[in-house]
A and B are shown apart, each in its own frame.
Chain A
Amino acid sequence: MNTLELLGKDPGWLTAVKGLIVFVICVLATLVSIVMERKIVSWMQMRIGPNRTGPGGSLQSLADGVKLALKEDIIPAAADRIVFVIAPVISVTACFMSFAVVPMTGVVNLFGHKTLLQLTDIPVGVLYILAVASFGVYGIVLAGWSSGSTYPLLGGLRSSAQVISYEVAMGLSLVAVFIYSGSMSTNAIIAAQHNWWFGVTLFPSFVIYAISMVGETNRAPFDLAEAEGELVGGFHTEYSSLKFALFFLAEYVNIIGVSALASTLFLGGYHALPGLGFTENWLGGWFTLIWFLAKVSFFFYIFVWLRGTLPRMRYDQFMKFGWKVLIPVSLVWIMIVSTLRLMSNNGASRVVVSSFAVGVVLVILTVMQFMESSKKKREIEDQLGDVLTPSFPVPELPTKKTDALNG
């Protein structure tokens, strides 16, 4: 019986219970992940991190949540009151919604029913996630706009530009997965990774997705929407109390959401690591939930690791990287993948496939060589460029071009 039918047989109350479970998992995961993030980042900086509230500081985010809820809720006089209140709700709703189609376990027994810990499965599940994720941007943009203040507005604009740019790359990186699994349903994609994870076979897609999911969630080093040094708090500068807590919650649920999607699409979802398949039957199948959470935690660790290592990018570098590197690379990669797929579907001989692969590698190498030499030529021209000597004394000019380091 396929999962669509299995989920279709759920009675209404079971769907409600699942919805509650998903909600609770998300909120608990947020509480745990905030503490863990602070802990891991402090270890990376040779600090201890929160250690006052609860054993080892484990209740810190709970205490912070209570504190936030008890704080005074301020709505600025210049704010558009209705939109100001709705914005955080949109943000938080959107990221919870994306969890509806993520399967967290294999087939398990839930209150006497054979089902999956997944709210629903739809044939275009991943598209639905992408749609809902971009819907979440409205929360940020509207929050920035309705605050009636300059910095939040700039933060909101940045954030929308950022999410739109990286959504393109993200969508393109998923195309290869769709081509190889032949479906957009999350369960079908997991089933298609039975032999090899897409994270291995479609490694470039995996890398592009991993980068763009950081850009998509506004996380360091791409956290330009809330760059403290430039924009105070970005879009949530004017928010306080529970509304601010909602944005906080949304950010972390979003991270967990994209991590869950990454594990589903590239690391085999709730399935065990290769060679450990026998564990999937433990606890009546519930052990798969542990595998799922382990994979999500792995991605979350990557998020924290990035934050602990990299400085924030400059806005133009960030945009350049998105549009001039990620998108072209994923376009070329999709071309290659779809050609290979078409060849194998039409039963092309191994010689044809391998000669195509060699041809692709040669073309890429040639293009890289060409780009390298034209870059050198440009550098030489820059050095030889005549400099007007002004009549007043000026400091010595640097002999080497230094302002094109990373851009």
Chain B
Amino acid sequence: MDNSLTPKSNDAGLVAAAKANTPIESQEASSFFKQLLGFWVTFVTQFKKANTVQYPEGKVPTEERFHGRHQLNRYEDGLEKCIGCELCAWACPADAILVEGADNTEEERFSPGERYGKVYQINYLRCIFCGLCIEACPTRALTMTNEYELADSSRAKLIFEKEDLLAPLRQGMLQPPHAMETGKTHIDYYLGNVKGAGQ
């Protein structure tokens, strides 16, 4: 079985590391005139372009996998992926997540299967953005966005509720509660066999 997680080759990294780790030939201080070259470095740098990002006016996109604000994802038809299992809360080293699960009923269904997350809070005063909650989530309900502007004026505002974290409804999604697609089980949802409404 091809395990795609194993790197194909790690030679390149090791070779580069070995090259970077070349032994220092001399531990003596450089000659006085060689040390004076430092003045040239600072002088020339003055005329180089600054690295500064003028933040509120100008923004630079984050790296793709930047750990930002969390998001609770939905299936294609709008049902929530969260099953209220609390694994994220258990994984959290900073104790920033509070989850209370509840049972789905046939009249009021928020997620496929038995349970859904009724209360979902993330306290961003505690969160350290380590991403262990994302690793713990069994349904990929919890992921992280690239949004990093999370400052606010009060402590209460920094406890994000479920409605703050839920992904927006996209094309073909219906606001839960609503029933599962006819003839499909929660396993079909899990395997990705459910397309959005009207597709």
Interface residues of chain A, those whose CB is within 8 Å of chain B, are: 40, 42-48, 305, 308-310, 398, 400, 402, 405-406
Q: How far is the CB of B52 from chain A (nearest CB, A)?
A: 5
**Chain B residue with Cβ nearest A405:** B29
Do A46 and B48 form a contact, CB below 8 Å, given A305-B39, A309-B38, A309-B39? yes
Do A44 and B27 form a contact, CB below 8 Å, given A305-B39, A309-B38? no
Contact B38–A43 (Cβ < 8 Å): no
Query: Whole-angstrom distance between the alpha carbons of A317 and B43 in the complex?
Result: 26
Task: Answer whether residue B50 sits at the interface, using C-beta atoms and an 8 A cutoff.
Answer: yes
Partner of A46, one of B27, B29, B50: B50
Query: Whole-angstrom distance between the alpha carbons of A48 and B49 in the complex?
Result: 9
Query: Whole-angstrom distance between the alpha carbons of A46 and B47 in the complex?
Result: 8
Chain B residues with CB under 8 A of A305: 39, 42-43
Task: Answer whether residue B2 sits at the interface, using C-beta atoms and an 8 A cutoff.
Answer: no
Q: How far is the CB of B73 from chain A (nearest CB, A)?
A: 40
Task: Answer whether residue B21 sits at the interface, using C-beta atoms and an 8 A cutoff.
Answer: no
Query: Whole-angstrom distance between the alpha carbons of A42 and B51 in the complex?
Result: 11
Query: Whole-angstrom distance between the alpha carbons of A372 and B123 in the complex?
Result: 66
Task: Answer whether residue B64 sits at the interface, using C-beta atoms and an 8 A cutoff.
Answer: no
Main secondary structure of the interface of B (DSSP, over half): loop
Chain A residues with CB under 8 A of B43: 44, 305
Contact A46–B42 (Cβ < 8 Å): no
Query: Whole-angstrom distance between the alpha carbons of A308 and B39 in the complex?
Result: 9
Interchain Cβ contacts within 8 Å, total number: 39
Task: Answer whether residue B6 sits at the interface, using C-beta atoms and an 8 A cutoff.
Answer: no
Partner of A40, one of B46, B52, B54: B46
Q: How far is the CB of A201 from chain B (nearest CB, A)?
A: 23
Task: Answer whether residue B45 sits at the interface, using C-beta atoms and an 8 A cutoff.
Answer: yes
Contact B50–A400 (Cβ < 8 Å): no
Contact A44–B29 (Cβ < 8 Å): no
Query: Whole-angstrom distance between the alpha carbons of A405 and B29 in the complex?
Result: 6
Chain B residues with CB under 8 A of A40: 46
Contact B45–A44 (Cβ < 8 Å): yes
Q: How far is the CB of A130 from chain B (nearest CB, A)?
A: 29
Contact B51–A406 (Cβ < 8 Å): no
Query: Whole-angstrom distance between the alpha carbons of A45 and B52 in the complex?
Result: 10
Partner of A402, one of B27, B41, B46, B48: B27
Query: Whole-angstrom distance between the alpha carbons of A402 and B28 in the complex?
Result: 7
Chain B residues with CB under 8 A of A400: 27-28
Contact A47–B45 (Cβ < 8 Å): no
Chain B residues with CB under 8 A of A43: 45-47, 50
Contact A398–B27 (Cβ < 8 Å): yes
Query: Whole-angstrom distance between the alpha carbons of A395 and B39 in the complex?
Result: 37
Chain A residues with CB under 8 A of B49: 46
Q: How far is the CB of B44 from chain A (nearest CB, A)?
A: 9
> How many residues of B are counted as interface, with CB atoms below 8 angstroms from the partner's CB atoms?
17
What are 22 contact pairs spanning A and B, CB under 8 A? Answer: A40-B46, A42-B50, A43-B45, A43-B46, A43-B47, A44-B46, A46-B45, A46-B48, A46-B49, A46-B50, A46-B52, A47-B51, A305-B39, A305-B42, A308-B42, A309-B38, A309-B41, A400-B27, A400-B28, A402-B27, A405-B28, A406-B29
**Chain A residue with Cβ nearest B46:** A43
Query: Whole-angstrom distance between the alpha carbons of A260 and B64 in the complex?
Result: 55
Which residues between 17 and 61 of chain B lie within 8 Å of chain A, taking CB atoms?
27-29, 38-39, 41-43, 45-52, 54
Do A47 and B52 form a contact, CB below 8 Å, given A398-B27, A405-B28, A406-B29? yes
Q: Would you list the 6 A-B pairs with minimal beta carbon distance, nearest first?
A: A43-B46, A44-B42, A405-B29, A48-B52, A309-B42, A308-B42
Query: Whole-angstrom distance between the alpha carbons of A40 and B54 in the complex?
Result: 18
**Chain B residue with Cβ nearest A399:** B27
Contact B38–A310 (Cβ < 8 Å): yes
Do A45 and B27 form a contact, CB below 8 Å, given A309-B38, A310-B38? no
Query: Whole-angstrom distance between the alpha carbons of A59 and B47 in the complex?
Result: 23
Contact A45–B38 (Cβ < 8 Å): no
Contacts beyond the supplied A42-B50, A305-B42: 17 A-B pairs with Cβ under 8 Å: A40-B46, A44-B42, A45-B45, A46-B51, A46-B52, A47-B50, A47-B51, A47-B52, A48-B52, A48-B54, A308-B42, A309-B38, A310-B38, A398-B27, A400-B27, A405-B29, A406-B29
Q: How far is the CB of B144 from chain A (nearest CB, A)?
A: 30
Chain B residues with CB under 8 A of A402: 27
Chain B residues with CB under 8 A of A308: 42
Which residues between 42 and 88 of chain B lie within 8 Å of chain A, taking CB atoms?
42-43, 45-52, 54
Query: Whole-angstrom distance between the alpha carbons of A132 and B39 in the complex?
Result: 32
Query: Whole-angstrom distance between the alpha carbons of A309 and B77 in the complex?
Result: 61
Among B45, B49, B54, residue most surrounded by chain A Cβ atoms (within 10 Å): B45
Chain A residues with CB under 8 A of B39: 305, 309
Among B27, B38, B42, residue most surrounded by chain A Cβ atoms (within 10 Å): B42
Among B46, B49, B51, B54, residue most surrounded by chain A Cβ atoms (within 10 Å): B46
**Chain B residue with Cβ nearest A311:** B38
**Chain B residue with Cβ nearest A309:** B42
